[in-house]
Chains A and B, each alone.
Chain A
């Protein structure tokens, strides 16, 4: 039987980002927020990329977002959709759009987070069209 889903390489976890992946394992999407300038950012850093403060905290995101851009990689053995999704909380993140008809993905579409098992690491946040 040929595989129908792409194998997802596991993300490498380091001390700075471990809380993100620990939360992902429990189905929660975290976003870093700076307590000094108030900006949220992604990918998560210990030091705020907007003001340089080290007073950053983990906040739970709603998991809702909209598709900023996407591309279906037709050339791959198993075609998949890479995308940038803008979270309701502000930051835009790279992701995949999954569990849907890839031909019907559109910019501006509402999506919600789902977590997909990776091959050799924690589950990774992906998005699927919101009902």
Chain B
């Protein structure tokens, strides 16, 4: 059984705030939910399935159903960090295909800026009962220095350069200049990136994503409901998910779980990387994009540096337009979890509603990919392939 063409994305919303000093966390979730419902032309009463992850307050799905006043017959709180919401779309499609719900609501929100959280630079502590904690926390693992080790290894093994990584940020900034909500709208050059201060070797300040408050929401529904609404129909064509871990110490930092989630999604969709017109790739750091594109099959392993260089990711310039909203590197990384906004921009592209300066011509097939956790060691990967109704 496949989910291909069994469910549609009928509504999306990206919260416009980037610093939520005056809103609560639950409020940001609810504002995002109502934004996506309005986009779809549905109401809260239509929702019978709800999906959220670790950023939801209190008891997650229970607390948010209580706050929003949802009447549910399906709930899913799958937590794979920033990739959760990409997985949620696939799970929502499964639930809809099986008749478990008709209208699935997915929400994300967070306020790390308002709370003054040292997102990338303070060691993350997931609690002393995390089985790895005692063997890692003492060494000062932060988000940035763990991703940096993957970059360092990739450079060593494949000759990838800082200038090649910088092109990813350059492309994101070229797109962000047209997004009025983007946190960083100034375009940057390769020189700007490689001359910005080193945070953790070999990653510079401009290799890192922004820290923003906000949120977002996605509505997934049955094809017959989606077709009855006024918005362009976006079909879910294929989904893949994978968890990659340390394999008892057989650590390989050169690839991610996209190596498995990608082929699963492509097989379900019956498509190949060359069929994809637009990609939203999780961009917590520049290296995240490079390794993910290799693993998804857009180039051979080790050739990612060449793939991303020379403007090849810039819409209207290169062959593989990516993150046309400016991505996490320039636009938005709400709650330190970028998966949901990746789906949102892919839907905008498929609807033809991206900014005219970055809209990909005849965008009939798009891919969104999420990564959550520590790159290449302990993380979730999720790949989602979507198509325009005529695709």
B362 interfacial by beta-carbon distance below 8 Å: no
The closest CB in chain B to the CB of A84 belongs to B251
Q: Is the CB of B197 within 8 A of A93?
A: no
Interface size on A, residues (CB 8 A): 45
Query: Which residues from A are CB-within-8-Å of B246?
Result: 92
Q: Is the CB of A69 within 8 A of B156?
A: yes
Complex Cα distance A40/B250, Å? Answer: 10
CB distance from A79 to the nearest CB of B (A): 9
Query: Which residues from A are CB-within-8-Å of B140?
Result: 6, 73, 76, 80, 82, 96
B188 interfacial by beta-carbon distance below 8 Å: no
Query: Which residues from A are CB-within-8-Å of B152?
Result: 69-71, 107
Q: Is the CB of A74 within 8 A of B249?
A: no
Residues of B128-176 at the interface with A, using a CB-CB cut-off of 8 Å, are 128-129, 131-142, 144-146, 148-153, 156
CB distance from B160 to the nearest CB of A (A): 13
Q: Is the CB of B249 within 8 A of A42?
A: yes
Q: Is the CB of B250 within 8 A of A13?
A: no
Complex Cα distance A57/B39, Å? Answer: 59
Q: Is the CB of A43 within 8 A of B132?
A: yes
A83 interfacial by beta-carbon distance below 8 Å: yes
B200 interfacial by beta-carbon distance below 8 Å: yes
Query: Which residues from B are CB-within-8-Å of A104?
Result: none
The closest CB in chain A to the CB of B151 belongs to A71
CB distance from A13 to the nearest CB of B (A): 7
The closest CB in chain B to the CB of A34 belongs to B248
CB distance from B133 to the nearest CB of A (A): 6
Query: Which residues from A are CB-within-8-Å of B146?
Result: 71, 82
Query: Which residues from A are CB-within-8-Å of B156?
Result: 69, 107-108
Determine chain A's interface SS by DSSP, over half rule.
loop
Complex Cα distance A108/B152, Å? Answer: 12
The closest CB in chain A to the CB of B208 belongs to A75
Query: Which residues from B are CB-within-8-Å of A10?
Result: 138
B201 interfacial by beta-carbon distance below 8 Å: yes
Residues of A27-48 at the interface with B, using a CB-CB cut-off of 8 Å, are 39-43, 45, 48
CB distance from B148 to the nearest CB of A (A): 4
CB distance from A3 to the nearest CB of B (A): 14
- Interface-central residue, A21, A45, A49, by most chain B CB under 10 Å: A49
Query: Which residues from A are CB-within-8-Å of B197?
Result: 74-75
Complex Cα distance A125/B132, Å? Answer: 15
A17 interfacial by beta-carbon distance below 8 Å: yes
Residues of A83-126 at the interface with B, using a CB-CB cut-off of 8 Å, are 83-84, 90-96, 107-108, 118, 121, 124, 126
- With A73-B142, A92-B251 as given contacts, are A45 and B199 in contact (CB-CB < 8 Å)? no
- With A74-B199, A82-B145, A82-B146 as given contacts, are A118 and B153 in contact (CB-CB < 8 Å)? no
Query: Which residues from B are CB-within-8-Å of A92?
Result: 246, 249-251
A19 interfacial by beta-carbon distance below 8 Å: no
Among candidates A9, A42, A73, residue contacting B137 with C-beta atoms closer than 8 Å: A9
Complex Cα distance A14/B199, Å? Answer: 34
Q: Is the CB of B148 within 8 A of A71?
A: yes
Q: Is the CB of A68 within 8 A of B249?
A: no
Given contacts A42-B135, A75-B199, 15 further A-B contacts (CB under 8 A): A9-B123, A41-B249, A43-B135, A43-B136, A68-B153, A68-B251, A68-B253, A69-B152, A69-B253, A74-B197, A74-B199, A80-B140, A91-B249, A93-B249, A108-B156
Minimum-distance CB pairs A-B, first 5: A91-B249, A41-B248, A11-B134, A12-B128, A71-B148
Chain B residues in contact with chain A, CB under 8 A?
A: 121, 123, 128-129, 131-142, 144-146, 148-153, 156, 197-203, 246-251, 253
Chain A residues in contact with chain B, CB under 8 A?
A: 6, 8-14, 17, 21, 39-43, 45, 48-50, 68-76, 80, 82-84, 90-96, 107-108, 118, 121, 124, 126
6 A-B pairs (CB sep. < 8 Å): A11-B133, A11-B138, A12-B134, A69-B152, A70-B201, A82-B141
